[in-house]
Amino acid sequence: MIPGEYKATVESHTWTTSAAKGTVGLRIVCLVHSMDDDMQLAGTIWFSDKAMGFARTQLKALGFDPDKVDVEEIGVSVDLNGNETTVVVEEQEYQGTTTVRIGRFGGANKPTQKALKSLSAALRKGPPPPSDPDEPPMPRDDDIPF
């Protein structure tokens, strides 16, 4: 399967813990739908302090609202199986082997309209004119995004 954004259906889910730090995760197996063929792939939502906002967004994309139901109810009174979502499929290389997996539930991050309007305004404003009109301005090191 080529990396990208796809529609998917949740087939199973189970709680897990990372061996390295003991971080709690929710491993989710989905049937990912592509034009060529459907493929079963898995991904994990990690619940570390740094990833809590990301986890919240992904849970909502799976049809679970953490504001209304406690997360420990997943697999007890809440079943995510059959829920439709969008997933981002990505390649992962580990010990010389490349595999595909679900990297994110809920699709790719998309900018807000406010962010796009701000970007448009900044692009229109442009850099200050150069001192020599025939010479383009030199970018500052702190302005280069890479």
Which residue ranges make up each domain of the chain? 4-105
User: 110 falls in which pLDDT band (50, 70, 90)?
Assistant: confident
Helices (H), the chain: 52-61, 113-125
User: 121 falls in which pLDDT band (50, 70, 90)?
Assistant: confident
**Tally of helices (H runs) and strands (E runs) in the chain:** 2, 5
Model confidence, pTM: 0.74
Tokens of 100: 């595909």
> Strand pairing of 4-17 and 84-94?
antiparallel
Residue count of the chain: 146
Q: Give the fold, CATH level 3, of 4-105.
A: OB fold (Dihydrolipoamide Acetyltransferase, E2P) (2.40.50)
- Residue 125, pLDDT > 90, answer no
Q: How far is Cα 45 from Cα 61, in angstroms, rounded to an integer?
A: 12
Per-residue pLDDT, 108: 75
